[in-house]
């Protein structure tokens, strides 16, 4: 590398470092619930065949069972001591955990970003990991994969990118290739610390449209720098990692001042005791309902909230409700109207599958016409993208 190239590289490093240092002021965080502090209920057990549904905005994309730990958790899922190790959170009260076996069993975490990544822009992903002392070894290649579509697979092995190719008319073939994460910890940097948290980070250029982040080990054991360590207890036949404090910021984006939003706000009185307020005409917001981006497909982390609604309806057999969908102000009125209606319908379909009589349910979409917060901020838009239910009869 010549002197000119060295100078350019150093200048770029200085710029990136300066951008990172000012991100709390100038660079919006693009990860929902980055420290796993928001949850729907305290974790109760570690289940080898379980499904992660109780952490807001986070879920597992495969059948590999990711875990949640919190200071409020049970003996199995407590903090700092739990069934799978001992560790204090990097910050806050909670963290998640994923497992990499010595063969190809894998667990992953996935989340939807606050906004799609912009083509050609530079982003920095960072998160912290800590190896459980109950492991038998450690790996190096933990990383982050950004995709335009949500990954959903039933495998419990290394996650593969499956592409259906047409070989001839009526003849197709599924070709599976390894994903290439945009950010991955270096192969020679073993993630072996059980006492302190280690940061995995990297800068990459977005292709554009990436909407989902998946965290885990995307490499087979032979390419993961798997090492057995004498300091570990060997209670687990592989490497178990706690994950905390995930951060994603755009280093090169030019964030312009936001134009004030003048859309009238729908006033809504908070309901302090919903069970005591069930009366005809009352409306309640379902706080933890998540969909695929720009789609009406319910994500699995919505299920706990919808099960609670199911229990309410079963406890009040004469109650009839109208499920109402709302969007933010992005997109045309016609598009948002259709999207909000389809999302409300998806909730009704879920309730029917849980045994609720369809005659007790109605659905309606309001599009972007009834915001409850200003659409001038991402936080406001997130609150406006909501699902409610209104009591029609008791």
CATH of residue 278's domain is: 3.30.1330.60
281: left (phi over 0), alpha (psi -120 to 50) or beta: left
**107 CB contacts (<8 Å, ≥6 apart)?**
60, 62, 64, 65, 66, 98, 99, 100, 216
231 and 290 fall within a common domain: no
Say what the pLDDT of residue 260 is: 54
For residue 340, tell me if it sits in a domain. yes
107 and 246 fall within a common domain: yes
Of 218, 250, 282, the last residue of a domain is 250
239 and 292 fall within a common domain: no
CA 84 – CA 239 distance, rounded (Å)? 11
For residue 319, tell me if it sits in a domain. yes
Number of domains in the chain: 2
For residue 4, tell me if it sits in a domain. no
CA 341 – CA 333 distance, rounded (Å)? 12
Nearest of 224, 218, 72 to residue 138 by alpha carbon = 224
For residue 257, tell me if it sits in a domain. no
CA 15 – CA 390 distance, rounded (Å)? 52
47 and 187 fall within a common domain: yes
Of 191, 215, 250, the last residue of a domain is 250
For residue 311, tell me if it sits in a domain. yes
**22 CB contacts (<8 Å, ≥6 apart)?**
none
Beta-bridge partners for 388: 285, 324
Say what the pLDDT of residue 257 is: 52
Say what the pLDDT of residue 273 is: 42
67 and 175 fall within a common domain: yes
For residue 266, tell me if it sits in a domain. no
Of 199, 234, 250, the last residue of a domain is 250
CA 85 – CA 94 distance, rounded (Å)? 14
Domain at 157, CATH number = 2.60.120.260
103 and 236 fall within a common domain: yes
What is 207-248 written as a DSSP string? Answer: -S---EEEEEE-S-GGGTT-EE-TTS---SSEEEEEEEEEEE
111 and 220 fall within a common domain: yes
285 and 236 fall within a common domain: no
Find the helix or strand (DSSP H, E) in which 363 lies.
strand 361-365
Nearest of 146, 129, 147 to residue 138 by alpha carbon = 129
Are 66 and 97 in contact by the 8 Å Cβ rule? The answer is: yes
Half-sphere exposure of 126 (CA within 13 A, CB side): 13
365 and 224 fall within a common domain: no
Domain that holds residue 292: 274-393
**99 CB contacts (<8 Å, ≥6 apart)?**
64, 105, 106, 107, 236, 238, 239, 240, 241
Q: Strand pairing of 122-131 and 227-228?
A: unpaired
118 and 66 fall within a common domain: yes
Nearest of 298, 302, 296 to residue 336 by alpha carbon = 296
Q: Give me the helices (H) in the chain, please.
A: 3-21, 23-26, 303-315, 333-353, 378-384
CA 167 – CA 273 distance, rounded (Å)? 60
228 and 297 fall within a common domain: no
For residue 259, tell me if it sits in a domain. no
Say what the pLDDT of residue 340 is: 93
Are 391 and 323 in contact by the 8 Å Cβ rule? The answer is: no
190 and 223 fall within a common domain: yes
CA 142 – CA 108 distance, rounded (Å)? 10
Nearest of 352, 342, 354, 369 to residue 304 by alpha carbon = 354
For residue 78, tell me if it sits in a domain. yes
pTM of the predicted structure, to 2 decimals: 0.68
CA 268 – CA 256 distance, rounded (Å)? 31
Average pLDDT for runs of 10 along the chain of length 394: 41 45 60 91 91 90 95 96 96 96 94 92 97 96 95 91 81 86 96 97 96 96 93 91 97 69 53 62 86 77 85 93 93 91 92 92 93 85 90 91
> CA 213, 219, 223, 224 torsion: positive or negative?
positive
> CA 71, 77, 81, 87 torsion: positive or negative?
negative
Q: Strand pairing of 109-112 and 183-184?
A: unpaired
DSSP state at residue 203:
E
């Amino acid at each position: 590398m010549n002197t000119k190239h060295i100078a350019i590289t150093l200048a770029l490093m200085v710029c990136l470092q300066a951008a990172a240092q000012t991100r709390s002021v100038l660079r919006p965080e693009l990860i929902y619930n980055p420290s796993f502090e928001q949850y729907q209920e305290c974790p109760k057990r570690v289940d080898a065949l379980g499904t992660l549904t109780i952490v807001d905005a986070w879920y597992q994309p495969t059948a590999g069972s990711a875990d949640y730990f919190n200071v409020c958790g049970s003996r199995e899922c407590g903090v700092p001591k739990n069934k799978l190790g001992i560790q204090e959170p990097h910050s806050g009260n909670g963290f998640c955990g994923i497992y990499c076996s010595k063969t190809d069993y894998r667990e992953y975490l996935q989340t939807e970003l606050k906004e799609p990544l912009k083509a050609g822009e530079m982003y920095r992903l960072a998160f912290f990991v800590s190896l459980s002392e109950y492991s038998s070894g450690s790996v190096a290649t933990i990383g982050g994969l950004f995709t335009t579509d949500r990954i959903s697979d039933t495998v419990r092995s290394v996650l593969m990118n499956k592409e259906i190719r047409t070989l001839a008319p009526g003849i197709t073939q599924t070709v599976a290739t390894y994903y290439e994460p945009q950010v991955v910890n270096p192969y020679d940097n073993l993630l072996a610390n059980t006492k302190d948290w280690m940061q995995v980070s990297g800068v990459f250029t977005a292709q554009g449209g990436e909407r989902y982040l998946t965290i885990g080990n995307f490499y087979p054991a032979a390419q993961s720098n798997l090492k057995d360590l004498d300091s570990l207890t060997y209670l687990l036949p592989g490497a178990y990692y706690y994950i905390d404090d995930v951060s994603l910021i755009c280093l090169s984006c030019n964030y312009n001042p936001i134009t004030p939003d003048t859309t009238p706000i729908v006033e809504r009185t908070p309901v302090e005791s919903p069970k005591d307020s069930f009366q005809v005409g009352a409306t309640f917001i379902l706080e933890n309902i998540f969909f695929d981006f720009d789609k009406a497909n319910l994500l699995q982390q919505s299920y706990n909230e919808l099960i609670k609604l199911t229990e309410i309806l079963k406890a009040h057999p004469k109650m009839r409700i109208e499920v109402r969908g709302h969007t933010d102000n992005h997109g045309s009125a016609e598009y948002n109207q259709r999207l909000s209606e389809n999302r409300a319908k998806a909730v009704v379909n879920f309730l029917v599958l849980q045994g609720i009589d369809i005659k007790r349910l109605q659905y309606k979409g309001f599009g972007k016409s009834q915001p409850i917060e200003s659409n001038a901020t991402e936080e406001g838009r997130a609150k406006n993208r909501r699902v409610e239910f209104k009591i029609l009869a008791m």
